[in-house]
């Protein structure tokens, strides 16, 4: 069982529909939060106790600086929640280079770079007797790539593959990687894609219920949450 009380946790994408719900639960559990996103005003408006850090995850140098600043807040880092992401809709053969670059920069490369930058701090956390973790949200599309979401599916599948391999490498260091693959969740992500227009989507999971499942997994020591772990529509 992982204790989140007094843990220093970086929540990436904290102003998003799912990120804010996760942050609220972690805050209620006594975590020391560092909240990050692109818009400091939106982060401050959440009303969640924590340190606010603005960062552009498409910039590799900004990610290194973000981790350094996050560690500096409490002198340690015990967990990372990757709740940031972008989506694009449209035919597989019509996706632009600009869209491809942003999809992979934010959805795939940013979490990889965050883990790389945070490795030393997370190792220190484990050596001090804590149970550091990194939560990634590759989503159901990493299991079942979806038509008209081919590039988005690929960016998330890449993240899932990286997480599975990195988890094996880092296990001996005491760092736990949790990959979660919930189905469509009722956040605002699909309403502001970086390209294309969302089709009519079926009713999704409530963000609060998905967030609760994720936090329960963090606390419970789980390492893998397939889509079947999210039977939450009636929650």
CATH number at residue 202: 3.40.50.720
Mean pLDDT of the chain: 95
134 CB burial (10 A radius; 0-12, 13-18, 19+): buried
Q: Is position 65 within any domain?
A: yes
For 23, the domain range is 8-229
Q: What is the pLDDT of residue 234?
A: 46
Q: Is the pLDDT of residue 1 over 80?
A: no
Does residue 140 form part of some domain? yes
**142 closest CA partner among 85, 186, 193, 198:** 85
> In which order are the strands placed within the sheet that holds 8-12?
51-54, 32-37, 8-12, 79-82, 133-137, 176-180, 224-225
Tell me whether residue 135 is in a domain.
yes
Number of domains present in the structure of the chain = 1
Q: Considering the domain boundaries, does residue 2 fall inside one? A: no
- Asked if residue 115 is part of any domain, the answer here is yes
Per residue in 102-131, pLDDT (tens digit) is: 999 999 999 999 999 999 999 999 999 999
Please indicate, yes or no, if residue 3 is contained in any of the structural domains: no
Measured CA to CA, the distance from residue 18 to residue 93 in angstroms comes to 30
The pTM (predicted TM-score) of the whole model is 0.95
CA–CA distance, 167 with 171 (Å, rounded to integer): 6
Does residue 235 lie within any of the structural domains? Answer: no
In a domain, 137, yes or no: yes
């Amino acid at each position: 069982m992982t204790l989140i009380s007094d843990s220093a946790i970086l929540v990436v994408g904290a102003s998003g529909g799912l990120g804010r719900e996760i942050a609220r639960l972690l805050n209620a559990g006594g975590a020391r939060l560092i909240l990050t996103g692109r818009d400091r005003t939106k982060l401050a408006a959440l009303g969640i106790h924590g340190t606010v850090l603005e960062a552009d995850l498409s910039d590799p140098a900004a990610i290194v600086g973000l981790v350094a600043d996050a560690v500096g807040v409490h002198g340690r880092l015990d967990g990372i929640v990757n709740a940031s992401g972008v989506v694009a809709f449209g035919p597989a053969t019509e996706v632009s280079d600009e869209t491809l670059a942003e999809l992979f920069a934010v959805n795939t490369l940013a979490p990889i770079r965050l883990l790389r930058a945070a490795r030393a701090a997370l190792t220190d956390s484990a050596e001090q007797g804590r149970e550091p973790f990194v939560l990634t949200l590759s989503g159901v599309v990493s299991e079942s790539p979806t038509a008209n979401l081919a590039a988005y599916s690929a960016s998330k599948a890449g993240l899932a593959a990286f997480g599975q391999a990195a988890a094996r490498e880092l296990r001996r260091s005491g760092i736990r990687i949790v990959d979660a693959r919930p189905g469509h969740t009722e956040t605002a992500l699909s309403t502001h894609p970086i390209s294309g227009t969302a089709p009519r989507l079926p009713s999704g999971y409530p963000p609060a219920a998905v967030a609760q499942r994720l936090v329960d997994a963090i606390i419970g020591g789980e390492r893998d949450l397939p889509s079947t772990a999210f039977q939450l529509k009636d929650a």
